[in-house]
Every structure is written in C-alpha cells, then in structure tokens.
C-alpha cells in the first residue's frame, strides 16, 4: 500500500496518507477533501561490505566531484 503526501488547500496542513483500496484522504486538521497531492522524495539504503556497500556504482545523491553521502 503506497503512502502519499498531501497539502490541504483550505488550511495548508501537510500530511501523509496510507492509501488502502479506494480510501479517500481528508485533512486530519480541518476535514477538508480539497487536497493537492505532493511529489515526495524517498530514500533507499544499500547494505554491503567494508567499502561502504554501493557496489562501485554511484550514489543517488552524487552530482559529480566528492559525494558527502558515499565518499566517492
């Protein structure tokens, strides 16, 4: 079941909603159904050996040069 992030158009509250079947989200603060689905970031963790575990590939946070996340 996916988790979506929403912002209420009426009061501005941001919240996450665990989508189950055809459930319709509503604002937990004001009860409004006037919501905007937000683009959420996600994180993944790679477990590995003594070298840090990214298998020699590049880290998702790398943009060139030295990465502060994986050290490459």
41 Cα distance to chain centroid: 3
Asked if 11 and 27 count as a contact pair (C-beta separation under 8 A), the reply is yes
How large a percentage of the chain has pLDDT more than 70?
A: 64
pTM over 0.85: no
For residues 6 and 64, the model is more confident at 6
- The full 3-state SS of 33-48, as one line of letters, equals CCEEEECCCCCCCCCC
User: pLDDT of 33-55, one tens digit each?
Assistant: 999 999 877 767 777 655 554 45
Please tell me the distance from the alpha carbon of residue 1 to that of residue 26, in angstroms, as a whole number: 17
- Give the residue among 11, 45, 43 at the shortest CA–CA distance from 28: 11
pLDDT greater than 90 at residue 15:
yes
């Amino acid at each position: 079941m996916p988790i979506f992030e929403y912002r209420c158009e009426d009061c501005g509250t941001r919240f996450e909603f665990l989508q189950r079947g055809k459930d319709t989200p509503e604002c937990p603060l004001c009860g409004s159904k006037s919501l905007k689905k937000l683009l959420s970031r996600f994180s993944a963790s790679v477990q590995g050996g003594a070298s840090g575990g990214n298998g020699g590939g590049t880290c998702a946070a790398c943009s060139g040069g030295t990465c502060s996340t994986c050290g490459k």
